[in-house]
A and B are shown apart, each in its own frame.
Chain A
């Protein structure tokens, strides 16, 4: 775990509300992430985790409340200001989102070529260093279609950290990975966060792997933070929601079924 956590939050959400039309997704979320911290946001499907990540990345604007990154209110930033902020962020998408018309090397070089005037030789060396960090230096000439899911995720990770961001956002980084890739990716996320001195926010369902990696956990349900704490506190928690989630129990406050009328009323053609 990181020992150099700063006192001022790098990311701060205050009473954030967000709705898609009439459907309210977030209902007053408060959250703080400090430099050096790796934070997990967990919750059931549709609980608003990815929406929260998009609000922090500035892809969505909060209906009310404040989303601040490095002290700047994202809703007050112009497009130019938002892009300047994003140059200091990295995001790992669920399936990598690699540019399919570019090789692995060009994918990682993309942000360096777009945002710096570095000479080609230096970009070449930096890209190889980033690829080496994720163990894929030898795959630099491959195209994204030639990579496995785990490899694509690691290339995307190398691309996301190409500009040494102050904030990393991970959207389901472990989804669909085999146990080896999952463990390697998890360790990489932890190592990169500590090496960059960055803050990282990870949206994930993978409770056991995440609790072994992160510094702090927020549990999101029905658009509000229902529980939070360090991994030790989460493991020891008697909160019914946390217990159900951590121990993967079928019964608990998180319903398995989508809201529906009783099954009996739909049988024998009683209702359609």
Chain B
């Protein structure tokens, strides 16, 4: 009985700790917006972060997009040709990428590549007292360090997702049209006819924007809130990747259920 009580106490303490931390993260999110104006006034800082989060993630995004497109082309052709609909390969590849795979896989890759780097950088700045030194110099670290990294991620994410999808469609075309021999005109014309800008492209962009906000928020918060030790930074990076992946998949379900019901 006492072991059970101890277990319940531990569970309760974990729940309280989790709620308290989420509350702190929410206040941190609001503070980010409060100090974002200052960071936009110093635009070069945000542009620099777009370079670090976005441009330096390009290679992994483009290569992954290509491979996902190649696989989609192969799998799609294999399924569609059973029903005599191999000409619809373009539609299948494009809708899969624009609605789901582009935003989701690009966000997962972005969290692993850029999110973890942002957490590590802010965490190490905290560990080496750089954030504290900045604060002592009357420069708010939220405005100078955190907000530019947050907005760098938010701006980069939809662009990376768009490039991922474009590269994926190119991969699907390479396999379907060039390698297998699906009709080139049918591939593109059916895609053009079936893909809606409003429901497919725009919803994909909205998804990737939401994922960008979630991943960037998690990344900067975990870095800022980490224990200032080597182990603390390492745990914060792990939390960034795990929480980001869970947040992306959960948000994807919620967004999809609102965006694509009965359409």
Contact check, B136 vs A86: say whether CB atoms are below 8 A apart: yes
Q: Quick check: B130 and A83 within 8 Å, CB to CB?
A: no
Are A93 and B132 in contact, CB atoms less than 8 angstroms apart? yes
Nearest residue, chain B, Cβ from A163: B137
Asked if A114 CB lies within 8 Å of chain B CBs, one says yes
CB distance from B52 to the nearest CB of A (A): 10
Which residues of B (69-124) have their CB < 8 Å from a CB of A? 124
A133 and B90 alpha carbons, distance in the complex (Å): 69
The interface centre, meaning the residue of B129, B132, B137 with most chain A CB atoms within 10 A of its CB, is B137
Tell me the number of A-to-B contacts counted with CB atoms below 8 Å: 45
Contact A93 B137 (CB under 8 A): no
Question: Which one of A89, A91, A94, A100 lies within 8 Å of B130 (CB-CB)?
Answer: A100
Candidates B124, B125, B137, B140; contact of A111 at CB < 8 Å = B137
Q: Are B128 and A87 in contact (CB under 8 A)?
A: no
Summarize B's interface: helix, strand, loop or mixed: helix
| Chain B residues with CB under 8 A of A83 | 138, 140
Docked pose: A222 CA to B126 CA in angstroms: 28
Q: Fill in one digit per residue for A66-106: 1 if any B CB lies within 8 Å of its CB, else 0.
A: 00000000000000000110110101011101111000000
Does the CB pair A87–B136 fall under 8 Å? no
Q: Which bracket fits the contact residues of A?
A: 20 to 34
CA distance A111 to B134 in the complex (A): 9
The interface on chain B, measured as residues whose beta carbon lies within 8 A of the other chain's beta carbons, has a size of 15
Contacts of B128 in A (CB 8 A): 95, 97, 100
CB distance from A151 to the nearest CB of B (A): 16
Contact B138 A93 (CB under 8 A): no
A115 to chain B, nearest CB (A): 7
Closest-CB distance, A194 to chain B (whole angstroms): 23
Complex: how many Å from CA A87 to CA B136?
8
Question: Which residues of B lie under 8 Å from residue A114 when comparing CB positions?
Answer: 137-139, 144
Set of chain A residues within 8 Å of B125, measured between Cβ atoms: 100
CB-based contact B136/A57 at 8 Å: yes
B130 touching A84, Cβ below 8 Å: no
**Would you call B139 and A95 a contact (CB within 8 A)?**
no
Which residue of chain A lies nearest to B131 when distances are taken between CB atoms in the complex? A97
Contact, CB under 8 Å: B138 / A97: no
Q: Is the CB of A86 within 8 A of B129?
A: no
* Least Cβ–Cβ distance between B124 and chain A, in angstroms: 8
Distance in Å from the Cβ of A18 to the closest Cβ of chain B? 17
B16 CB-CB contact with A under 8 Å: no
Q: Is there a chain B Cβ closer than 8 Å to A6's Cβ? A: no
A100 cross-chain contacts in B, Cβ below 8 A: 124-125, 128, 130
Q: Which residues of A contact B139 (CB under 8 A)?
A: 110-111, 114
Residue of A nearest to B137 (CB): A111
Interface membership of B184, Cβ < 8 A: no
Q: Check if A115 sits within 8 Å of B130, measured CB to CB.
A: no
> Does B129 lie within 8 Å of A89, measured CB to CB?
no
CB pair B129–A84 under 8 Å, yes or no, is: no
Residue numbers in A under 8 Å from B124 (CB-CB): 100
Contact status A86-B137, CB under 8 Å: yes
Asked whether, in the complex, the Cβ of B138 is within 8 Å of the Cβ of A95, the reply is: no
A183 CB-CB contact with B under 8 Å = no
The minimal Cβ–Cβ distance linking A231 to chain B, given in whole angstroms, is 28
Residue A59 interfacial (CB < 8 Å): yes
Taken together as a complex, chains A and B put the C-alpha atoms of A80 and B144 apart, in Å, by 16
Report which of B130, B138, B144 forms a contact with A86, defined as CB distance below 8 A.
B138
Query: Which B residues are in CB contact (< 8 Å) with A59?
Result: 132, 135-136
- What residue of chain B has the Cβ atom nearest to residue A89's Cβ? B136
CA distance A156 to B130 in the complex (A): 11
Instruction: Return the contact of A115 from the options B133, B136, B138 (Cβ within 8 A).
Output: B138
Collect the chain B residues with CB atoms within 8 Å of residue A115's CB.
138
Q: A110 — which chain B residues lie within 8 A by C-beta?
A: 137, 139
Please name all residues of chain B whose beta carbon is closer than 8 Å to the beta carbon of A156 when the two chains form the complex: 133
| Residue from the set B125, B133, B135, B140 with the largest chain A CB neighbour count within 10 Å | B133
Give Cα A94 to B132, complex, Å.
Answer: 12
Among residues 123 to 181 in chain B, which have CB atoms less than 8 Å away from a CB atom of chain A? 124-125, 128-130, 132-140, 144
Residues of A within 8 A of B138 (CB): 83-84, 86-87, 114-115
Task: List 14 A-B residue pairs with CB atoms under 8 Å apart, sorted by A's residue number.
Answer: A57-B136, A84-B138, A87-B137, A87-B138, A91-B133, A91-B136, A93-B129, A95-B129, A97-B133, A98-B130, A100-B125, A100-B128, A110-B137, A114-B137
B residues whose Cβ falls under 8 Å from a Cβ of A: 124-125, 128-130, 132-140, 144
